[in-house]
A and B are shown apart, each in its own frame.
Chain A
Amino acid sequence: MNLAIRDVRFNLGRFLLTAVGLGLLLMIVMGMGGIYKGIEEDAVLLIDELNADLWIVQSDTRGPFAELSRLPANVEDRAWAVPGVASARRFVTHTVQREYQGRSIRISIVGLSWPTDRGEWLPIISGRTIAQGHYEMVADVTLGLGVGEHITLGKDTYHVVGITKNMISSGGDGLAFMSIADSQAIQFDAAGEATRLERAARRGRAEDDDITQSQPGMLERANMPASMNPAFGSPMVSAILVNLKPGVDIEIVREVMNGWADVTVYSGEQERQLLLQGPVDRARRQIGLFRVLLVAISAIIMSLILYTMTLDKIHDIALLKLMGAKDRVILGLVLQEAFLLGAIAYVLAYFIGKKLFPFFPRRVIVTNDMLVWLAFAVMVICIVGSALGIRKAMSVEPNEVLS
C-alpha cells in the first residue's frame, strides 16, 4: 500500500498549490540559468556568425566589442596582400536609439563589407539579404520591423528587405545589417547646421594660416565637403575581419599582421574570450550568483515545506511505529512525497517557463544540459530537504500516540 500517494490524494488541493508555488520558484531558477546562458550566447553570437579567423583591431585595444576600436579602412587592402589570406572585409558596429512609429527602438547596426559581404551568412527567416550598396537593411525580428517597412536613420530612409532571428548584440539590442557606407553615414551623421559651422570654423583656421595666403586654392577647399578634401581621411572602421585559405597556419599570418605597428590581431576565439571577460562578465557573474542564491533559497523553502508536511503526519508516523512499521515504511512515506512534489514542481516549471520565457525582453536559452542539471538539483534538494523531516520522523517515539 503506497501511503505517500494516499496522503497526497487526501490533501490534493494543498499539495498541488504547494507544487505550483515550488514550480514557479523552480521556473525562476530555470529562467535565471536561461538568462545566464542567453547573455553568453548573445554576446558571442555575432562573433560566431561572422566566423572570422582573425580580427584586426586598433593597436593596443580589445575592440571592437570590449572597447572602442578605430582603424583606417585601407587596412583591409593590406590584409588582402598577406599570403594565405582568403578574404578580408571591413566591419563596423555602433548602436543608435530612435523613435519609430511612436516607440523607442535601440538598433545595434552592423556594417557589411559590400559587395564582398551581402549578408548571405545571416539566419534570414523572411525576405532576403541586401542586394544593393545603399538604403537596404536586414533587421532582427526583435526590433519589431517587418519586411517592406521603411525607417529613417540619419538623413536617409532604409528599406527593410529581410528579417533575421536571434541576432542580438551583447547589450541585448536587436542587430540591423546594412552596407558599411550606410552604417558610417548613420554613425557620422551631423545636422546641416553643424556641417556649415564646421566648414566655417575650418575656413577661419585656414585664414589664420600663412600657407593660405600664398595658396588661395587651399582656402577654397576648406569650404568643401570633407570627402573632397584630401587632408581628411575616410571614416574609420571598427575592425577588419580576415579569413584564411584552407591549411594556412593562423599563427604565421597573425605574426605577419602583428608586425604592423598600428593594429593588434586576435584570433576568433580570443575575440570571443575578450567579449566574455569584458562587457558581459559582470552581468554574467551577477546572474550566476543570483542563480546560486535562488537554488539555495529553493532548497530552504523546499526543506521547510517537506518538514511541515512531515510534522502534519507526525501522529500518524508515531502510530505506524507503534504498530511496528519498519523504518523504510516511514522513510518511503516522506521521501516519496518529496520526490513527487519535486517532480510535479519541475514539470510545472518547465511548461510554465516554456510559455513565459519567449515574452522576456532578452533571450532565455534553456538547454537540455540545463534541464538535466536542474532535474538533478531538484532531486538533491528533495533528498536534502527531506533530511530534516526524516530526522523528525525517525526520532518520534511510538508512545506519542498515547499522549
Chain B
Amino acid sequence: MTQHAPAIETIGISKIYGSGNTEVIALREATMTIQRGEVVALLGPSGSGKSTLLSSIGLINPPTSGQIKIDGKVVMDGPKPFVNLQRYRRERLGFIFQKSNLIPFLSAIENVMIALSISGIEGRPAKRRAMELLDSLGVAERAKNLPSALSGGQQQRVAIARALANKPSLLLADEPTAALDSKLGRQVMELFREIGHENQAGVLVVTHDQRSLEVFDRILHMDDGLLTELEVANSKPK
C-alpha cells in the first residue's frame, strides 16, 4: 500500500454556495487521505456536507478552495482543474449510488461494457472483462438480463461491476445500501471491503447504516461541513 501515492488526498477543501446573505458553507477546509486498498466510511447527518464532499472528490462539483490530489497528482486547486476531469473520472474513479442507476435499455453485461466502451475498450476484450467482473460479483448468470429483470441486490452488484470496470484507483459510493435490506446491505458492505483490498482501490462509502461499520478500515464523520475522524474500536483485521 505504501508503494503507491494515496488514492485521494484533499487539502483544506471548502465549498461555499451563494454569496453575501445567501452564503452557505457546505465544506469547511476538509482534509483527508485515502490510501489504495483502504475502505473508509463517511458518516454524518443529512445536510452535513457528505454529498458535497463526495461530488468534489468525484470531480463533478469543484471546491471553492483547497486542493484535490488523485494518485499523488494535483487535479484541482480551488475551482481550477489541472487535468482533463472527464478523462480522470473515466480512468481513475468509479461511482456507486443509492439506486443502482443502471441504464435501463442495456443488459447487465452491456451496463458494464459501456464503462469500458467509454474508455475505448470494445468488442471481445470488453466482453471478457465485463463477464469476469459479473462472475466475481456472483451475477454472471444474469448477464443478459435487463436491469428491470434483476433484484435490487443484483442491480447493485452490476453497478459495482460497472464502477470497477476501468480498475479505478478510487471507488466512491453514495449510500449504496440504502435501498437494500439489512442482510443484503451487509453483504454489499463486505463486498466493498473485499474489492478495496483485492483491487488495491481506495473506497469511500457515504452511509447512514451504523450496523456494518466494522467492515471499514476508518470512519470519517462530517457535521456542518466539518470533517473529523472517529476511532474504530471493532474494525476487522485487514
Interface residues of A (CB under 8 A from B): 1, 3, 6-7, 9-11, 315-316, 319-326, 329, 397-399, 401-402
Q: Which residues does chain B contribute within 8 Å of A323, judged by CB atoms? A: 89-90, 95, 114-115, 118, 162
Contact of A402 among B54, B89, B105, B113 (CB under 8 A): B54
Q: What residues of chain B lie closer than 8 Å to A1, measured between beta carbons?
A: 110, 113-114, 117, 122
The 8 Å CB contact of A324, one of B55, B90, B103, B113, is: B90
B146 within 8 A of A: yes
- Closest residue to B123 on the A side, CB-wise? A1
The answer to whether residues A325 and B103 also contact, given A6-B110, A398-B60, A402-B54 and a CB cut-off of 8 A, is no
Assembly CA distance A148 to B165 (angstroms) = 81
CA gap between A6 and B103 in the complex, in Å: 10
Query: Which B residues fall within an 8 A CB radius of A?
Result: 51, 54-55, 58, 60-61, 86-91, 95, 97, 101, 103-106, 110, 113-115, 117-119, 122, 146, 162, 174
- Given A321-B86, A329-B118, A402-B55, list of 8 further CB < 8 A pairs? A1-B122, A3-B103, A3-B106, A320-B103, A323-B118, A324-B91, A399-B60, A401-B95
Chain B residues with CB under 8 Å of A402's CB are: 51, 54-55, 60, 97, 174
Query: Which one of B55, B101, B117 lies within 8 Å of A319 (CB-CB)?
Result: B101
A-B contact pairs, 27 of them (CB 8 A): A1-B113, A1-B122, A3-B103, A3-B105, A3-B114, A6-B106, A9-B105, A10-B104, A316-B103, A321-B86, A322-B89, A323-B95, A323-B114, A323-B118, A324-B90, A324-B91, A324-B118, A325-B90, A326-B118, A329-B118, A397-B60, A398-B60, A399-B61, A401-B95, A401-B97, A402-B51, A402-B174
Whole-angstrom distance between the Cβ of A399 and the nearest chain B Cβ = 4
Q: Are A324 and B106 in contact (CB under 8 A)?
A: no
Assess the A401–B118 pair: CB atoms within 8 A: no
Expressed in whole angstroms, the minimum distance between the Cβ of A232 and any Cβ of chain B is 85
Q: B110 contacts A322, CB within 8 Å?
A: no
Question: Residue on A with the closest CB to B93?
Answer: A324
Q: Which of A6, A10, A315, A324 has the most CB of B within 10 A?
A: A324
Contact (Cβ within 8 A) A401 B122: no
CA distance A180 to B51 in the complex (A): 93
Question: Which residue of the partner chain B has the closest CB to A2?
Answer: B117
Give the residue name and chain of the A residue nearest to B116 (CB): A1
What is the CA–CA distance of A10 and B58 in the complex, to the nearest angstrom?
A: 30
Chain B proximity of A315: nearest CB distance (Å): 8
* Distance from B44 Cβ to chain A, minimum over Cβ atoms (Å): 15
CA distance in complex: A61, B118 (Å): 74
Most buried by A among B87, B105, B119, B122: B105
Give the CA-CA distance A325 to B105 in the complex, in Å: 17
Residues in A with CB closer than 8 Å to B162 are 323
7 cross-chain pairs, A with B, having the tightest CB-CB distances, nearest first? A324-B90, A10-B105, A324-B89, A399-B60, A398-B60, A7-B105, A325-B118
Q: Would you call B118 and A6 a contact (CB within 8 A)? A: no
Q: Which residues of B contact A9 (CB under 8 A)?
A: 105
B104 near A399 with CB under 8 A, answer no
Chain A residue nearest to B85 in the complex (CB):
A324
Closest chain-B Cβ to A57's Cβ sits at a distance in Å of 69
Shortest CB-to-CB span from B152 to chain A, Å, is 18
> Within the assembled complex, what's the spacing in Å between the Cα atoms of A156 and B135?
93
- Chain B residues with CB under 8 Å of A398's CB are 60, 89
- Asked if A326 contacts B105 (CB within 8 A), the reply is no
Closest to A8 in B: B105
User: Which residue of A11, A315, A322 is within 8 Å of B60 (Cβ)?
Assistant: A322
Query: What is the CA–CA distance of A401 and B89 in the complex, to the nearest angstrom?
Result: 14
A375–chain B nearest beta-carbon distance, Å: 28
State the CA gap A11–B105 with chains docked (Å).
Answer: 8
Q: Which of B51, B91, B146 contacts A10 (CB 8 A)?
A: B146
CA of A1 to CA of B113, assembled, Å: 8
Residues of B within 8 A of A322 (CB): 58, 60, 89, 95
Complex Cα distance, B58 from A397, in Å, reads 13
Residues of B within 8 Å of A315, CB to CB, are: 101
How far is it, in angstroms, between the C-alpha of A162 and the C-alpha of B103 when the chains are bound?
67
In the assembly, what is the distance between CA of A9 and CA of B107, in Å?
12
Chain A residues positioned under 8 Å from B105 (CB to CB) = 3, 6-7, 9-11, 316
A320 to B162, CA, bound (A): 12
Residues on the A chain within 8 Å of B95, using CB: 322-323, 401
